[in-house]
Amino acid sequence: MSEIERIINEVDSSMSMEGLPLTNADKERISVCLNNPKMLDSMINELLNKHKVNA
């Protein structure tokens, strides 16, 4: 198991204990950000825009 897989599994386990298991899309986003840290800001912005409530 790679280091990235281990991190994703640990995060998934922690989130599952709180009743919020990661989706496959969540796992993919984490993988992308761990493989390319420069993507983190754009990924955060993408998620903020996706879930923003337009008034």
Query: How confident is the model at residue 21, as a pLDDT?
Result: 96
Question: What is the model's pLDDT at position 54?
Answer: 81
- Mean pLDDT per 10-residue section of the chain, whose length is 55 residues: 95 97 96 95 94 84
Residue 53 has a pLDDT of: 87
What is the model's pLDDT at position 41? 95
Q: Which two tokens stand for residue 31?
A: 């993988």
Other CB atoms within 10 Å distance of the CB of residue 4: 14
In this prediction, residue 15 carries a pLDDT of: 97
Query: What gap in Å lies between CA 27 and CA 33, rounded to an integer?
Result: 10
Q: Taking the alpha carbons of 18, 24, 25, 28 in that order, is the dihedral positive or negative?
A: positive
DSSP-H helix ranges across 1-55: 3-17, 24-35, 40-51
